[in-house]
Chains A and B, each alone.
Chain A
Amino acid sequence: MQAQQAPRTLFEKIWSRHSIMQRPDGQVLLYIDQHLVQDGSAPAFEMLRQRGITPRVPSRAFATPDHYVPTDSRDLATMADPEKRQMATALMQDAARAGIRSFDLDDPRQGILHVVGPEQGLSWPGTVIVCGDSHTSTHGAVGALAFGIGATEVCQVLATQSLWQRRPKTMRIAVDGRLAAGVCAKDVILAIIGKIGAAGAVGHVIEYAGSTIASLSMEGRLTVCNMSIEAGARAGMIAPDDTTISYLAGRPFSPAGKAWEEQVGRWRALPSDPDARFDREANLSAHEIEPMVTWGTSPEDVVAVTGRVPDPAAAGQPQRREAMQRALAYMGLTPGTCMAEVPIDRVFIGSCTNGRIEDLRSAAAVVRDRKVASGVAAWVVPGSGVVKAQAEAEGLHHIFRAAGFEWRYAGCSMCLGTNGDIGAPGQRIASTTNRNFVGRQGAGVRTHLMSPMMAAAAAVTGRLSDVRQLMAGGMA
């Protein structure tokens, strides 16, 4: 009689199926299903060329430029810096030479890779997905093992379609209960990072579970998994279910016909077995989560918008006190200030965290019939050309423009400013992105992370604001 197999997690099911071999030191050579290639990959292609190697399985790679594309036009020539311009050009050339499918800048489907992948049905449950970008964890939302890698590893994947990995530990984070109005996926992940810290999941793959996670749309799940890396996690994932399967059905690169039925059968078997064990567990109650906003220079520096700038004097450890003082000095904030009194200069709605259609809809609902506060520069940068077209079909661009927002083209834009979209020193930005690091949106720029609804509220009030008050005040 065959021994019954021990209960396995979603992660373990994917890991074991992709293990080509194991080294004596325990590292596993993992097969890579899907390699997403962005326009920072020139060094990796150069490494390949130096070795005289061509990509081994171009059909398992997909490219689109996102980091180095202008968002005020689709004309690369508008980018002043020839080195930056060359990055997007190099990707399109390298992809074409290697036979890697790509959506070039003039393709209406171009966009941020972590938006385009799920949107096009390129990201499948049960697969291993890598990309030379830390926010690759996003794709875990479909039930994939997806993680970011460095340039040398990009080169290795292009050359061998595989990667040596030490087996990460597993962590389940369960969020249960119903989210209140005005509270969304972004607030959930910010609350999680606030609870476990920016290094809280180092060396682990997180599986998000619980009724709150199960009730999130695919867009919301992508937002949650996107920021797994900000908790230090190797990857974040969510078990595929009806939401996942109906999201993927009929997408351009999703399996079709008989293959669809076969794949769905596999996907249904992926969720963690009921008695599967995780190395660590954490829990949150949805009832405790309010609209969140960061006050410092790490995503773990986060409070409810109803809260105040914390006082370093109250910190237990001297190291923590020093870090808080440094962060507050950079952010130009005084302990005890109400978060909802902090004035802002700019608003950025977009990025691989919050550049999807649902994000734009929720922001537009707040902005509708209101005006951007005087002196505030507000941008919407859709996550992809497809998101942009959908939003325009729904008339969202009219709402944003009527309020005084700039409606721009898809790209990473002000999330990290590699294309030149940056703020001026000292400017304070309400941003739907993923990192409030020092200098992230430009040298000396102060970033407050929040949800699209909260960023919209900041835009129309000119300060960090509790979006729930605007909703009570007559939002349709």
Chain B
Amino acid sequence: MSLKPFERLDAIAVPITQPNLDTDQILPARYLQKPRANNFGEYLFRDLRFGKDGSEQAGFVLNQAPYRDGRIILAARNFGCGSSREHAVWALHDYGFRAVIAPSFGDIFYANALKNGLLPIPLPEPSVLAMLDTVQAAPGSRMVVDLEAQTVLAPDGASHTFDINAFSKHCLLKGLDELGYTLGLLDQIADFERRFEQAGS
């Protein structure tokens, strides 16, 4: 299966100032039984975006004019902590997000994101907090993510480099998935397995 190649992203950044924004809030559990064919973007931040009657919550950032077209999430620390639900990544991706910048991520969310064309970008907390201030002071500020160069261009013009493992970068840039690659290694896996089981496991 192939994904769309990850291209240079020049987009509005949506500020999420709440630390520890867990995957239950990104995608509430009551949508977990929906088949993947659904547009999970509809359920993204469901209880933050909408009231019980389905009306928009004006105070939530995604319901504010400049942010509706945001493609980058700029978040506080430990974004995507909690449940392993990959649906949280599907929801962000289906809504249109392609990158999340944060000081840290839930480990499972980070791994899930890389496998679904959503680029998680860890940057030092002071830099992210400064970017959050800038973006909140000037709603609709754009940021540029260049995966090839591993850089983020902040609204103030400063360039920040970020880390990503070379393989995930390659897969994202080419729109490849990891499973296809690993399936090509089945002989080596079987060899290992034979030795492993002979050794008594």
Contact = CB atoms under 8 A, between A and B. Distances in A.
B179 A156 contact: yes
Interface stretch (B6-14, B77-85, B143-151): B77-85
Interface in B120-136: 129
A152 B115 contact: yes
B138 interface: no
B189 A198 contact: no
B186 A418 contact: no
Contacts, number: 178
Interface string B162-185: 000111000000000111001101
Interface size class of B (residues with CB under 8 A): 35 or more
A168 to B, nearest CB: 8
Contact of B84 (A68, A133, A266): A133
Given A31-B193, A83-B33, A438-B25, A160 B182 contact: yes
Contact of B82 (A202, A203, A323, A435): A435
Interface in A45-63: 46-47, 50-51, 53, 56-57
Contact of B107 (A155, A234, A418, A440): A234
Interface in B1-58: 1, 17-20, 22, 24-25, 28-30, 32-36, 47, 52
A161 interface: yes
20 contacts: A20-B189, A21-B185, A25-B167, A40-B85, A42-B33, A53-B183, A134-B84, A148-B108, A159-B179, A160-B189, A168-B107, A199-B81, A202-B106, A232-B106, A300-B20, A326-B18, A416-B83, A417-B29, A435-B22, A438-B24
Interface of B: 1, 17-20, 22, 24-25, 28-30, 32-36, 47, 52, 76-78, 81-87, 89, 104-108, 111-112, 115-116, 129, 165-167, 177-179, 182-183, 185-186, 188-189, 192-193, 196, 200-201
Interface of A: 18, 20-21, 23-27, 29, 31, 33, 40, 42-43, 46-47, 50-51, 53, 56-57, 67-68, 81, 83-84, 86-87, 127, 132-134, 147-153, 155-156, 159-162, 164, 166, 168, 198-199, 202-203, 229-230, 232, 234, 262-263, 266, 298, 300, 319-320, 322-323, 326, 416-418, 425, 435, 437-440, 443
